[in-house]
Amino acid sequence: MGAENMLSASTLFGFLLTLMRVSGVFVFVPIPGLKNVVDPARLLLILGVTISLFSVWPHPEDRVSPGVLASWIVSEATLGLGMGLAVSFAIESFLVGAQVISLQAGYSFASTLDPSTQADSTVLVVFAQTAAALLFFAMGLDREVLRIFAHSLEAVPAGTFLLSRGASQTLISAGSIMFSTGLRLALPIIAVLIMADLSLALLGRVNSQLHLLAIAFPVKMVLGLLILGWLCTLLPALLRGSSGMALTAARALWSH
């Protein structure tokens, strides 16, 4: 009798709906090397997280029409994708800041292979992506994501979520986290580099024989590295602030 209850249609539906919500989040949640691992390893990770949430699985009716089940699957995947996208905004803010710094400091001319996407990317962008992903786990944000899973399944059982206008607006407004944090990260370096450009321009007016083009790039690159080294001490605080807003936006998706 116990085995029959464990493998009932209600339990299987609950597993399927929870799996769709978890899978949607793992599309965007930053996990180092997740895009490079083979499909069975990725599937085992998603299954492990889904099984760990067994205590909060929903238990819908045993007899559900295919159309209703399909609508539930779509709604759960939508909620999972929205929550994962909100969390990823905190990480993408570091990439926005690194891209702006690369353009101003001259590092956009050097590219390397991004281990996550296997595409060419600038050195600072790869560094920012790796640092943000490692800080994500070092600060325990992965556990916060799991807590959001559990709370969402308790507050909005699988199969009952409806994407409202307020939830979509919350997700759109959460995108401002990416740009605001990225600009806060890049503004100190931009200010120093503007001062360096002004100083080199004045130096060129004093001595027109100097080859400023050969001097400007090394000076700006060294200044960019020095200021970036100082900003590295502030990365945990920036990630804590941006992730707090991102997690709040993720909770707001299912609390509307």
Which pLDDT belongs to residue 116? 58
- Largest Cα–Cα separation, the chain: 92
Closest CA to 57 of 10, 121, 122: 10
Closest CA to 141 of 24, 25, 19, 37: 25
State how far the Cα of 237 lies from the Cα of 249, in Å rounded to an integer. 19
Closest CA to 177 of 79, 124, 255, 249: 249
Which pLDDT belongs to residue 119? 60
User: With 60 as the cut, is the pLDDT of residue 103 above it?
Assistant: yes
- Which residue, chain included where needed, has tokens 């640092």? 131
Which pLDDT belongs to residue 62? 64
For 132, the token pair is 């943000």
Across 223-235, b (16+ Cβ under 10 Å) vs e yields bbeebbeebeeeb
Mean pLDDT of 46-54: 81
3-state secondary structure (DSSP) of residue 112: strand
How many domains in the chain?
A: 1
Question: Domain residues for 64?
Answer: 2-255
Which pLDDT belongs to residue 87? 82
* Per-residue pLDDT band at 1 (split at 50, 70, 90): very low
User: With 60 as the cut, is the pLDDT of residue 37 above it?
Assistant: no
* Residue 127 CB neighbour total at 10 angstroms: 17
Percent of the chain beyond pLDDT 90? Answer: 0
- What residue type is 256 in one-letter code? H
- Write down how long the chain is: 256
* Per-residue pLDDT band at 237 (split at 50, 70, 90): confident
State how far the Cα of 235 lies from the Cα of 139, in Å rounded to an integer. 11
- What residue type is 126 in one-letter code? V
pLDDT (tens digit, 9 = 90+) per residue, 165-198?
A: 666 777 777 777 788 888 888 888 888 888 888 8
Give the global pTM: 0.70
pLDDT (tens digit, 9 = 90+) per residue, 60-99?
A: 666 777 777 788 788 778 777 888 888 888 888 888 888 8
pLDDT (tens digit, 9 = 90+) per residue, 111-167?
A: 665 555 556 667 788 788 888 888 888 888 878 877 877 787 777 776 677 666 666
Q: Pairing relation of β-strands 111-113 and 120-122?
A: antiparallel
Q: Please give the span between the terminal C-alpha atoms of the chain, in angstroms, as a whole number.
A: 39
